[in-house]
Amino acid sequence: MGSAPFRIYMKKRKGYVFTDKKNSNRAVMATILGVISLVSLGVVVFFSYRSGGEAKAGYGVTALLAAVYSLTGLVLGFITVQDKNYFRLFPVLGLVLNGAALAGIGLILYLGGNLG
């Protein structure tokens, strides 16, 4: 009977996984670039909508910068997601956010070309 609690303790202890993995600075930067791209595109679309669809030249520059940020974030995300020494949350999140930003830019360009 004295060894039963010890077995329970050992059983719980085997559930822990100790690792040397850490978060990559490149992956965090990819995530930040994705957030910046999505927010800037959202702001541009909102202000363009408020002005009745009239987009100023600065809005196009903002969308171009968002595309550059998204492409940079995708590259950083792809580099980091392939490395097994890092956690996968931030690289995958960066890939998703930057992919969504590029898809948004593509949608804006597609709709602008077909509806304009």
Under DSSP, is residue 86 helix (H, G, I), strand (E, B) or coil?
A: strand
Cα-based torsion angle of the residue sequence 64, 36, 97, 78 in order, rounded to the nearest 10 degrees: 80
pLDDT per residue over 36-92, tens digit each? 999 999 999 999 999 888 888 888 899 999 999 999 999 999 999 998 888 899 999
Q: What is the pLDDT of residue 61?
A: 93
User: Three-class SS of residue 51?
Assistant: coil
Residue 116 three-state SS = coil
pLDDT of residue 21: 82
CA-wise closest residue to 37 among 60, 67, 58, 57: 67
In this prediction, residue 97 has a pLDDT band, given cuts at 50, 70 and 90, of: very high
Global pTM reads 0.79
